[in-house]
Structure formats: structure tokens, C-alpha cells
Amino acid sequence: MTKKAKAGVRGPASKGKVSEEALERKVLEAINRIFLEALTCPDEEALAKTCLDVLEKLTRSAYGFIGELNPVGRFDTIAVSNPGWEACTMDDSEATRMITDMEIGGLWGKVLTDQASFYTNTPGKHPASTGIPPDHPPMHSFLGVPLKLSGRTTGMIALANKPGGFADEDQKAVEALSMAITQALHSKRTEQKFALQAQEILEVSTPVLQIWEGIVVAPLIGTMDSERTRQFMERFLETIVKTNSSVALVDITGVPMVDTQTAQHVIDAISAARLLGAEVILTGVRPEIAQTLVHLGIDLSEVTTRSSLSAGISVALQRLGLAVTRNTQGK
């Protein structure tokens, strides 16, 4: 009798433990997916949409959104679930206005104001409820969890309409995921910022300038790797076409060393410019570079070369029938 009673007690306890372990396993799988997606998602918006999809599947929510506080303290959504958006029949312009630069209020506003999670399965009767727009999808249950970075609330997750309503385990699961989502979004934003800075530096380091009507100059600085070469070629050829230039100077004064790859890049640029009808003058050909080019077997016999940029500009002006003269008259 005693053994049976003990066995009866252990059954439900064991079942509850398995359920909790299963939930923890699902949360860990969701966290792993978020961090894996963070490696391949092209931008913050795409990552946020993936995170929202993970949250909806984990909690079996019908729709939701993820958003952040903007610099002026209002709210911008960065991901809205497709089920929620498709169920919304509001005009696109009105819907767009409502999901960006929003004044904080209602159930979701309570999450940001209190900086704490909560859920309700009677959202219409909740004291914080301000109702929903007439054409908004109906809401039968609501779960909101703040996104926090270094202890500061930066945004929130909102989920709605789980069949049967939300429970404590849903709130705990989303809270656990919120930390991973915050970190993933922050990392992606930092990655995008560095990529933009790198792109700006790349563009500055491969400038193409029009110095006179019909003449452009492309000064190369530093080592020309494949990405810099691609950028240079695009800007070089686009500028020739845009300015309708007939003479283009490629200056390699700022290139510390010319190897076979760099030399080939320069030859490719010259050949491409010729196809556009522009004559190319290679400048900055120092003695050591000339020797290197000869040693590498690079044939520049059909290319006009000069040792300095100023000498190349003089040749370019001559090609256009122009000349620079010194004014010897006094004031």
C-alpha cells in the first residue's frame, strides 16, 4: 500500500519534470537557430523577422511584432509577422504610419513603461488596454517582453492569440529568448555599421576625379586587392562615361609595390577604358616599378606612361589641344 502511494506521487512529478525539460530543450534550439541565422541574415530587419518567426512557433502565437525605442523615445517596429499583417485590412499608408514613430501606450506600452514582462488572456478588459484600431486583427490574448541591453530597455517583443491563452512558461521562454535576440540584433547592427564604414573607406581610397572637361584622374593608393579592384573598375568606367572623357589618367604613385596581380588589375582597367573610347595614361611609374614591370613581363609598349602625375596631365592637355602657360606679366 505504501509503495503504491509513493509510486502514485512520483508519476505526476516525473511528468512535470519531463515537460519542463522539453520546454528548456525547445528554448535552447530556438536560441541556437537565432544565433545561426544572425550569421547569414543580410540585415537587422531580416534577422528580426526570423526571430519573430521563432517566437511565434515556440509559443504557438498567431501574430506579433518586435520593435525598438527610437532616439526621441517613440517606438519603431522592425519586424511584423506575416499572419498579423495579412489579417490587417488597414490602408498601407495608415498601417505604415502606425508601426513607426508610435507614441507609447496601450498594452504594449505598459511593457516599455514598466520595463517588465506580462501577459493577459483578457486583453480587452485589462486596465492598460486602449483598444485596437477597427481594421486591426482581433486580439484574444497578449504577451509582452522587454528587450534589454546592459540593463536598459531598448525595445520589446509582443505576441498575440495563442490558442487557449498564454501561461507562465510562455513568458519564461520568451524572456529567455529575449536576451539572445537583443544580443543578436545588437551584433548585427554593429556588423552593418562596420560594413558601411568599410565601404565608405573603400570608396574614399579609390576616388575618380574629373580635373578638366574631358580628363579624369584615378589615383590608386595602397594595395589593390580583389574588392578594391572591383570598386575601382566600376567607379573608373562609370566616371569616364558620365563625364564623356576622352583621356583618363591612372596614377600609381601611392601604390607601394606592384606585383603580378596589381599589374594585371591596372592592365584590365586600361583595356576596359579603351573599349569606352578613352586613351589611358599611366602615371607614377617610378624606376623601381618600371624594373618590376619588366621583370614580371608586363607589356606596356602600347600604353603612354609618365613618371609623375603632373607630366601625365600635361600629356592629357596636349591630347585635347590645350596647354598650360606661365603668365610672366606683372600685376
Question: What pLDDT score was predicted for residue 278?
Answer: 94
Other CB atoms within 10 Å distance of the CB of residue 277: 11
Query: Is 324 inside any structural domain?
Result: no
Claim to verify: residue 99 and residue 173 sit in the same structural domain: yes
Query: Is 301 inside any structural domain?
Result: yes
Claim to verify: residue 135 and residue 264 sit in the same structural domain: no
Distances (CA, A) of 179 to 137, 153, 156, 251: 28, 11, 11, 51
Task: Choose one of 192, 220, 248: the last residue of a domain.
Answer: 192
Report whether 120 contacts 107 (CB < 8 A). yes
Claim to verify: residue 154 and residue 224 sit in the same structural domain: no
- CATH code where residue 168 lies: 3.30.450.40
Claim to verify: residue 28 and residue 159 sit in the same structural domain: yes
**DSSP 8-state secondary structure symbol assigned to residue 102:** B
Claim to verify: residue 102 and residue 218 sit in the same structural domain: no
- CATH code where residue 250 lies: 3.30.750.24
Query: Is 199 inside any structural domain?
Result: no
Task: Give the three-state DSSP class for 211.
Answer: strand
Question: What pLDDT score was predicted for residue 330?
Answer: 56
Claim to verify: residue 164 and residue 288 sit in the same structural domain: no
Task: Choose one of 166, 192, 218: the last residue of a domain.
Answer: 192
Query: Is 17 inside any structural domain?
Result: no
Contacts of 169 (CB under 8 A, 6+ apart): 20, 23
Question: What pLDDT score was predicted for residue 173?
Answer: 93
Question: What pLDDT score was predicted for residue 94?
Answer: 46
**DSSP 8-state secondary structure symbol assigned to residue 133:** -
* Structural domain span for residue 115: 24-32+39-192
Question: What pLDDT score was predicted for residue 239?
Answer: 93
Query: Is 300 inside any structural domain?
Result: yes
Domain count, the chain: 2
Mean pLDDT for each consecutive 10-residue tract of the chain (331 residues)? 41 49 85 83 87 93 92 90 56 53 90 95 92 80 94 93 94 93 86 64 67 90 75 89 94 83 82 92 87 80 88 91 71 52
Task: Give the three-state DSSP class for 155.
Answer: strand
Claim to verify: residue 96 and residue 226 sit in the same structural domain: no
Question: What pLDDT score was predicted for residue 120?
Answer: 96
Claim to verify: residue 183 and residue 46 sit in the same structural domain: yes
Query: Is 303 inside any structural domain?
Result: yes
Question: What pLDDT score was predicted for residue 266?
Answer: 82
Task: Choose one of 129, 163, 192: the last residue of a domain.
Answer: 192
Q: List beta partners, residue 65.
A: 80, 158
Claim to verify: residue 45 and residue 188 sit in the same structural domain: yes
**DSSP 8-state secondary structure symbol assigned to residue 213:** T
Query: Is 2 inside any structural domain?
Result: no
Distances (CA, A) of 91 to 98, 145, 158: 11, 28, 22
Please name the residue ranges forming H helices in 214-321: 226-243, 260-275, 287-296, 309-319
Claim to verify: residue 153 and residue 278 sit in the same structural domain: no
Query: Is 7 inside any structural domain?
Result: no
Claim to verify: residue 223 and residue 133 sit in the same structural domain: no
Claim to verify: residue 61 and residue 186 sit in the same structural domain: yes
Question: What pLDDT score was predicted for residue 163?
Answer: 94
